[in-house]
Chain A
Amino acid sequence: MIRFENVTKAYGSFTAISDLSLDIHQGEFFSLLGPSGCGKSTMMRMLAGFESVTSGRILLDGVDLTGMPPNRRPINMMFQSFALFPHMNVARNIGFGLKQARWRKRDIADRVDEMLALVQMENFADRKPHQLSGGQMQRVALARSLALKPKVLLLDEPLGALDKKLREETQFQLMDVQDRLGLTFIIVTHDQEEAMTVSSRIAVMKDGKLLQVGEPSRIYEHPANAYVADFIGNVNLLPVRISATDGELIDVTWGNGRNMVIRPQPEDRLSAGAQKTLVLRPEKIHVSKERPEEAFNINMVEGVVEEISYIGSVSTFHVRLDDGVLIRAQEANRLLASRREIDWDDRVWLSWRAGACVIIES
């Protein structure tokens, strides 16, 4: 539906987006995720029409958008600051786009009521923006940007101005609205958790390039490279050498000649002797004081707890192995913290299954 074709955007000698191609489909909740300055906002502003494309082109339903000003594109945007017009009340804010499109007064009023109902703000039609809370402003901004029935809605860090509790609530509200209207939503965010929660697909960006595009679970479980693995959540990245490649489980060596069995992906093309990086997520590692039972598909190592960070639901253990490698492992706090069995400087066993880790290029 939306297609970026070899899009490049340069500001003088600085290249914000370089030769980027991307397809976004009808009805998707698509996230552009990356650190600040990665070009994600530039992508959105080019799509909305506030920035021109230096080379390449952007197509919407096969129509080239190049040179089309923002007021002519069937795309609307929700701004990070919400950008509600302070001198207009909620109803006039929502009806603003309809008035520009010269809708009849009656039709505007009906559509505004419909949008107010959609975001559950029926009782606030006469309020001015400065009389609303952050969450209410966000909902008005959403209603305003949906009033014109755009084909695509762009959301620029839509929840950045809200506190954490409200953010979670709003995430689900956004997903609900998107689901009900069947629109294409494109969200720009630097918050990986937010991107994982709301989107059907994520594009991870860095320095104006796409690193990986895929479903949240794909990006989390099978990152394309070390940067993506590290950007999305916590991770242990271990350099490994493939020692045997035959069979369903293969052997790799890591650390000081330590051995590990892993279950490779069908698409991994591994050859013996190759140097790779192993991605092992902390929550996939079990921490115990007793040595776990031996099994052919379980890896286990012993080390000393160096640090415990407690964040309520889970605790992360920093465990230093005897050969100096540091591994982070995460355990759900099934017991009260005061009853925790593992403490600083304890010797513990770390264990994980062969299928819990993936191999990526170094």
Chain B
Amino acid sequence: MNRRFNTFNLTALTFGFGFLYLPLLLVIIFSFNDSRLVTVWGGFSTKWYAVVLANEAYMEAAWITLRIAALSASLATVLGTLSAVVMVRMGSFPGRTLYSGMIYAPLVMPEVVTGLSLLLLFVAIGIDRGFWTITIAHVTFSMCYASVVVTSRLRTFDRSLEDAARDLGCSPFSAFCQITLPIIAPAVMSAWLLSFTLSLDDLVIATFTSGPGSTTLPMKLYSSVRLGVSPEINALSTMLIGIVASGVLIASLVNRRQERRLENETRAAAPA
């Protein structure tokens, strides 16, 4: 026992937790603060939540954000899955390296660069910036994450299952829909949740690509903070933390359940 819980390990753990969660914890605690002053505790209260929920500007921003997140996550998942299929199934084709490079590029590209380049594109083709441009911008970067998640699942997928379906009368498309998709569904699901939370979080790219009347919640939050931190912002942030955390949690739970099932199946499929 001592080897696990010695002073060094405990100190390391405390620092780790401290750096990761202390700021978040403060926000959450002070969101239940009764006092008007942000950093002085004045007793427990949920009144700031009521204030936030009654604030139409916040609510409208939240509604836009959720719509963008859901729509961009859906599009990103479809595109990400398709690109994963291409990467895993097509073997080598001319331009494959470029293609895989382009898929992974947005993962490491500074958001400012992505945002700026999208802005230039939208200006160049003359689209009015707003709801749709933010959605498209979110699709471009979250489809990369979706693709990475689905690719890793597809790599371990037994090709002969699809061959068997084709042998029994399916076209390639129908084999994909009836056999492959249901089996990789948990990975697709977690790709969607990941894309959803990514879109929910985003401030930088949304700032570049938004237009009048399409302020997302992170943007709203940021602009309010510049006018001074108010307790209702704590409440709003806590709600955001809640949504994002549950999204990530569900995604990882889905993934873990799938892995465990996969493990059981492979164990059962490999007779001694």
Q: Which residues of A does B touch, CB under 8 Å? A: 48, 50, 69-71, 75-77, 79-83, 85-87, 96-97, 100-101, 129-135, 137, 144-145, 148, 161-163
Contact = CB atoms under 8 A, between A and B. Distances in A.
Contact of B271 (A71, A86, A162): A162
Given A76-B167, A100-B169, A131 B268 contact: yes
In this complex, which of B164, B264, B268 has the most chain A Cβ atoms within 10 angstroms of its Cβ?
A: B164
Interface string B169-184: 1110010000100110
A129 B269 contact: yes
B271 A77 contact: no
Contacts of A137: 269
A96 B178 CA distance: 10
Interface string B234-272: 000000000000000000000000000000110011111
Given A75-B167, A77-B167, 18 more contacts: A50-B166, A71-B167, A71-B170, A77-B163, A79-B164, A81-B269, A83-B158, A85-B183, A86-B161, A86-B265, A87-B183, A129-B265, A129-B268, A131-B268, A137-B269, A145-B167, A148-B168, A161-B270
A130 B271 contact: no
A148 B167 CA distance: 10
Nearest to A73: B167
Interface in B141-165: 158, 160-161, 163-165
A70 B160 CA distance: 13
Contacts of B264: 130
Contact of B168 (A80, A132, A144): A144
A327 B73 CA distance: 73
Given A80-B160, A81-B160, A87-B183, A130 B269 contact: yes
Contact of A83 (B161, B169, B171, B174): B161
Contacts of A76: 167-168
Interface in B167-204: 167-171, 174, 179, 182-183
Contacts of B170: 71, 100
Contacts of B161: 83, 85-86
Interface string B64-102: 000000000000000000000000000000000000000
B268 A101 contact: no
Contact of B268 (A79, A132, A135): A132
A70 B268 contact: no
B263 to A, nearest CB: 10
Contacts of B272: 163
Given A80-B160, A130-B265, A132-B268, A69 B166 contact: yes
A87 B261 CA distance: 11
Interface residues of B, number: 23
Contact of B171 (A71, A131, A162): A71
Secondary structure class of chain B's binding surface, majority of residues: helix
B271 A163 contact: yes
Contacts of A129: 265, 268-269
Given A83-B160, A130-B265, A97 B169 contact: yes
Contacts of A50: 163, 166
Contacts of A75: 167
A183 to B, nearest CB: 15
Contact of B164 (A83, A131, A163): A83
Nearest to B268: A130
Nearest to A70: B166
Nearest to A75: B167
B167 A161 contact: no
B179 A79 contact: no
Interface in B33-90: none
B31 to A, nearest CB: 43
Contacts of B169: 71, 97, 100-101, 148
B158 A81 contact: yes
A83 B268 contact: no
Contacts of A96: 165, 168
A132 B182 CA distance: 20
A77 B167 CA distance: 7
Contacts of A130: 264-265, 268-269
A101 B265 CA distance: 29
A145 B158 CA distance: 18
Nearest to B266: A130
A129 B158 CA distance: 14
B179 A85 contact: yes
20 contacts: A48-B167, A50-B166, A71-B171, A75-B167, A77-B163, A79-B164, A82-B269, A83-B161, A85-B164, A85-B165, A85-B183, A86-B265, A87-B183, A96-B168, A97-B168, A97-B169, A129-B268, A134-B271, A144-B164, A144-B168
A134 B169 CA distance: 25
Nearest to A86: B265
A70 B167 contact: yes
A161 B271 contact: yes
Contacts of A80: 160
A228 B171 CA distance: 40
A163 B160 CA distance: 22
User: Lowest 3 A-B CB distances belong to which pairs?
Assistant: A134-B271, A97-B168, A100-B169
A41 B264 CA distance: 29
A219 to B, nearest CB: 30
A97 to B, nearest CB: 3
Nearest to A80: B160
A135 B268 CA distance: 11
Contacts of A87: 182-183
A81 B268 CA distance: 12
A257 to B, nearest CB: 54
